Amino acid sequence: MTNLSYTIEVKENGRVNLPAGLRSQLHLNAGDKLMVRVSGEGRAELVTASTVVKEVRGLYRHLRGEGSVADELIGERRAEAARE
């Protein structure tokens, strides 16, 4: 992704208008959610909700193990049924 800078004016009541180029680069549509990360004095980062979800999933990937939770649950249910 190309690093670009945009100048955004803060309007009345704190409203901002995201430039079309920024919306296009981030693949934003009406109703999409953005997270604002503040990381120091005078510094903020806009992050799409889908990016945050991917990051969080990555943080806990090591806990997932080899199989999926759904596969494990199905296996347990089949074992219970076989015992009955």
55-73 pLDDT, tens digit each: 777 666 666 666 677 777 8
CATH of domain 12-83: 2.10.260
Q: What is the DSSP letter of 7?
A: -
Contact 35, 47 (CB under 8 A): yes
CA distance 64 to 44: 32
- This prediction's pTM: 0.56
Indicate the domain borders of the chain: 12-83
- Distance of CA 41 to CAs 37, 44, 53, Å? 12, 9, 26
Q: What is the DSSP letter of 65?
A: -
Q: Residue 19's CB: how many other CB atoms inside 10 A? A: 13
Residue 1 has pLDDT above 60, yes or no: no
Residue 3 has pLDDT above 80, yes or no: no
